[in-house]
Chain A
Amino acid sequence: EDKVVQSPLSLVVHEGDTVTLNCSYEVTNFRSLLWYKQEKKAPTFLFMLTSSGIEKKSGRLSSILDKKELFSILNITATQTGDSAVYLCAVVTGTASKLTFGTGTRLQVTL
């Protein structure tokens, strides 16, 4: 059974801090790993990672994948209150490109 585990489950930081969110996986027929941000409704796409060791960046967010050790990290620098959300990691597998989601990390950024 495919498994995706995220840590920590929840995190409270002060505005301006840097956070690192972790995602490890054990799946068959890996295709890609996706990061999403979920506020009140549906998830919004952040990154897609397919190759090992290549960092993806978007503003204060960055992410990297390690296919040998089977994990990915999502970094957020200079956090803002608007970063408060649940961050979901999902692994794409198989020919049907199914997504298996991790448990999510609930991030709260306080003033």
Chain B
Amino acid sequence: GAVVSQHPSWVICKSGTSVKIECRSLDFQATTMFWYRQFPKQSLMLMATSNEGSKATYEQGVEKDKFLINHASLTLSTLTVTSAHPEDSSFYICSARDPAKGDSYEQYFGPGTRLTVT
């Protein structure tokens, strides 16, 4: 089946620094990837849709200058949390659809990245 990886799986950083999270589709090409954030005991909230070769589409309330998304290839999207603050501490998950699966809307999720900002 389609596999999505994320790196790193967890990261601790100091307030004010930037952190980059990578999301890779390992056995398929993904023209579109999605970035979610999940706070403890809450559901997944879509942050942005990442499109290969073009600008990401951000959801309302998500600061595009703070959460920089780059989707430079068909297998890699990156999310950079700039000037991180403790309130950015969360579980960040990416997902991707496999366009070869036609009408299937299933999204394959990465294992997630736990970010802690101290």
Contact = CB atoms under 8 A, between A and B. Distances in A.
Interface of A: 31-32, 34, 36, 41-45, 48, 50, 88, 90, 92, 96-104
Given A41-B111, A92-B105, A101 B93 contact: no
Interface in B43-94: 43-46, 49, 57, 93
A88 B43 contact: yes
Contacts of A36: 109
Nearest to A92: B105
A99 B46 contact: yes
Nearest to B51: A96
Give the secondary structure class of A's interface.
strand
Q: Contact residue range for chain B?
A: 20 to 34
Contacts of B106: 34, 45, 48
10 contacts: A34-B105, A34-B106, A36-B109, A41-B111, A42-B110, A42-B112, A97-B32, A97-B97, A99-B95, A99-B107
A36 B109 CA distance: 10
Contacts of B36: 101
B57 A96 contact: yes
Contacts of B44: 43, 88, 90, 99, 101
Contacts of A96: 32, 49, 57
A41 to B, nearest CB: 5
A44 B108 CA distance: 8
Contacts of B43: 88, 101-104
B105 A31 contact: yes
B105 A100 contact: no
A45 B107 CA distance: 8
Contact of B45 (A41, A42, A101): A101
A92 B107 CA distance: 10
Nearest to A10: B41
